[in-house]
């Protein structure tokens, strides 16, 4: 493989990173494990006999590298998995937990093999949250079989187990996912953003930037949920969400966080907004995070606001980009902002 090694493997870098992200639930860990995969591949290059494609060989290395990590780390979580919904009650404190992290669509687009796309049902936040409940080897079998479409024999060989054991693990993994995935998942908006979804996102941005909780309320399903990693507190209905917004958006409230500016983006094949916040007494709008939305039948049924994700992952600066000062609520939804 020698001097052609870098050329052979570099074309698969992004898809290997996405594979590691599915396995680990962390964008930062996925970057590290993709690098670890190529380091292991480089060390083992003389033993590559060409019986399988380079792509299959790299996936095998990456999967086992992820299993090594999963053997010594706890599963990643979201706030609604930790306890019942709560009510807004003043300031809250961040919790140092292994939070599940979102992934920008710009990486998914770069990772898709030629003439293929990464479908939402295998990368959406709810799917990844359910996958976190699987033991590591069940998780690996599920991803190799149901996401990558590997045959049972090839999956068993990659994990150095029997076909019977791999099939048994797959059955158990599928059963767990059926229990953990939302019942109305099939009703969610899929594929490219529709005109209605784009219009809904524009209204969402306009309502937040205006600091208008009532306008946000009109976009939410009555049973809408809102989670806010790294905070364990979460809200389980529209009333609680709007009550919290009334505190955080009202300049007269002691709990006011400031004023928001937002840009439409995409994450995990879901509509999302990149958020900048100007806190009371400050001049600049600074990077705040990314909020993913779940849309059903024209209403927002879930909001997942991640404050700890880096702006660079979305190709955005740390302070509000001046070129968007006049974007209004009509900014174009796109994968990489």
Two structure tokens written together for 43: 């060390």
The mean-pLDDT minimum among 49-58, 269-278, 314-323 falls in 49-58
As a whole number of angstroms, the distance between CA 252 and CA 273 comes to: 26
| Cβ proximity of 154 and 126 under 8 Å | no
Two structure tokens written together for 16: 């290997």
As a whole number of angstroms, the distance between CA 227 and CA 77 comes to: 11
323 — pLDDT class (breaks 50, 70, 90): confident
Two structure tokens written together for 27: 């964008």
Long-range contacts of 66-74 (CB under 8 A, 24+ apart): 66/20, 66/23, 66/24, 66/33, 66/136, 66/140, 67/136, 67/137, 67/140, 67/159, 69/24, 69/29, 69/33, 70/23, 70/24, 70/136, 70/139, 71/136, 73/98, 74/98
DSSP class of residue 249 equals H
How big is the CA angle at 171 (ends 168 and 177), to the nearest 5 degrees?
Answer: 140
Higher pLDDT, 59 or 336: 59
Cis peptide before 89 (omega within 30 of 0): no
How confident is the model over 298-317, as a mean pLDDT?
94
List, for residues 209-231, the tens digit of each pLDDT value: 999 999 999 999 999 999 999 99
Residue 120 CA neighbour count, 13 Å, CB half: 16
List, for residues 111-160, the tens digit of each pLDDT value: 877 556 677 888 999 999 999 999 999 999 999 999 999 999 999 999 99
Give CA separation, 145 vs 11, 72, 224, 239, 334, in Å.
22, 24, 33, 42, 31
Cβ density class 294-331: b for 16+ within 10 Å, e for less: bbbeebbbbbbbbbebebebbebeeebbeeeeebebeb
184 — pLDDT class (breaks 50, 70, 90): low
DSSP class of residue 145 equals I
Two structure tokens written together for 231: 């905070």
pLDDT score of 336 more than 50: no
Question: What local confidence, expressed as pLDDT, does residue 120 receive?
Answer: 80
Which residue blocks in the chain are alpha helix, DSSP H? 5-10, 13-24, 27-43, 54-70, 105-111, 125-131, 136-142, 152-158, 163-180, 195-209, 213-217, 238-249
Burial grade of 161 (CB within 10 A; 0-12, 13-18, 19 or more): middle
337 — pLDDT class (breaks 50, 70, 90): very low
List, for residues 280-307, the tens digit of each pLDDT value: 999 999 999 999 999 988 999 999 999 9
How big is the CA angle at 106 (ends 261 and 103), to the nearest 5 degrees?
Answer: 75
Question: What local confidence, expressed as pLDDT, does residue 330 receive?
Answer: 37
Question: What local confidence, expressed as pLDDT, does residue 331 receive?
Answer: 39
The mean-pLDDT minimum among 31-45, 65-79, 153-167 falls in 31-45
Which residues are paired to 276 by β-bridges? Answer: 261, 287
Torsion-angle region of 328 (φ positive above 0: left; ψ -120 to 50: alpha; else: beta) = left
pLDDT score of 190 more than 90: no
How confident is the model over 235-262, as a mean pLDDT?
94
Strands (E), 73-112: none
How confident is the model over 103-114, as a mean pLDDT?
85
Higher pLDDT, 112 or 1: 112
């Amino acid at each position: 493989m020698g001097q052609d090694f870098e050329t052979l493997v570099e074309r698969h870098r992004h898809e290997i990173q996405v594979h590691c992200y599915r396995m680990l639930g962390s964008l930062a860990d996925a970057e590290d494990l993709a690098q670890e995969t190529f380091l292991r591949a480089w060390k083992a290059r003389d033993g590559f006999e060409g019986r399988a494609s380079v792509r299959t060989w790299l996936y095998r290395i990456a999967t086992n590298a992820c299993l090594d990590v999963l053997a010594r780390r706890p599963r990643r979580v979201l706030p609604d998995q930790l306890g019942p919904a709560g009510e807004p009650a003043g300031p809250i404190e961040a919790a140092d937990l292994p939070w599940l992290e979102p992934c920008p669509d710009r990486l998914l687009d770069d990772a898709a093999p030629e003439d293929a796309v990464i479908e939402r049902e295998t990368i959406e936040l709810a799917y990844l949250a359910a996958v976190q409940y699987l033991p590591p080897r069940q998780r690996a079998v599920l991803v190799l079989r149901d996401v990558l479409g590997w045959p049972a024999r090839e999956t068993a060989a990659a994990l150095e187990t029997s076909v019977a054991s791999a099939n048994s693990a797959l059955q158990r993994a599928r059963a767990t996912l059926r229990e953990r995935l939302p019942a109305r998942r099939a009703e969610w908006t899929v594929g490219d953003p529709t005109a209605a979804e784009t219009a809904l996102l524009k209204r969402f941005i306009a309502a937040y930037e205006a600091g208008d909780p009532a306008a946000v309320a009109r976009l939410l399903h009555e049973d809408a949920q809102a989670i806010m990693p790294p905070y364990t507190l979460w809200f389980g209905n529209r009333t609680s969400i709007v009550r919290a917004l009334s505190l955080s958006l009202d300049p007269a409230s002691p709990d006011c966080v400031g004023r928001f500016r937002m840009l439409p983006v995409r994450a995990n094949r879901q509509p999302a907004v990149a958020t900048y916040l100007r806190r009371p007494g400050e001049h600049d709008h600074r990077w705040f995070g990314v909020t993913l939305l779940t849309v059903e039948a024209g209403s927002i049924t879930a909001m997942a606001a991640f404050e700890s994700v880096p702006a660079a992952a979305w190709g955005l600066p740390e302070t509000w980009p001046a070129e968007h000062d006049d974007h209004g609520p009509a900014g174009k939804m796109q994968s990489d902002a």
